[in-house]
Amino acid sequence: MMLDSVELDDQFEWVDEFEWDAVAQEQERSVSGALLIQEGVKLHGRPITLKSNGGVWTPLSVVRSLEVLRNTPSKVMDLTLPDGRAFSVTWNRADGAPLEATPLERLVNPGEDHLYDVNLRLITVAPPAA
């Protein structure tokens, strides 16, 4: 799995994959009491939350690389999943911390290979203009 230039372990779990509904719907009552429904296909905005869930551990060196990406405003990144699907994404800052990293073992001065449990909150966006 790749996020921009950062290689991630293929065992990250996309926890909200099947919660996305590609159709937006608005419901409203007219003055006559009739129900008015409008629907349209969403173009982007699909959340992609990748979690370790105890199945993968990420070294500090990779966490630091993710930190650099996270700290770049309006960064649009390519995300390629292990099954070959690809998305243009940015950090989803609206639903909590976009990058969470918890050490498996607490150390005051961890080395680059110290392992972390990592969660990433991303959201799909339109690909950048070529």
Q: How many domains does the chain fold into?
A: 1
Q: What is the pTM of this model?
A: 0.87
Is 93 part of a structural domain of the chain? yes
Token pair for 17: 């994959």
| Residue 54 included in any domain | yes
What mean pLDDT do residues 117-124 have?
97
Average pLDDT over residues 74-99: 95
- Give the DSSP per-residue string, 93-118: -TTS-SEEEEESS--SS--TT-EEEE
- In-domain check, residue 95: yes
- Report the distance separating Cα 40 and Cα 79, nearest Å: 25
Q: Residue 129 falls within a domain, yes or no? A: no
pLDDT of res. 26 = 96
Range of the domain at 59: 2-124
Retrieve residue 116's tokens: 């972390």
The Cα 72–Cα 68 span in angstroms is 7
pLDDT bin (cut points 50, 70, 90) of residue 128 is: low
130 assigned to some structural domain: no
pLDDT band at 107 (very low <50, low <70, confident <90, very high): confident
Virtual torsion, Cα 126, 83, 98, 94, nearest 10 deg: 50
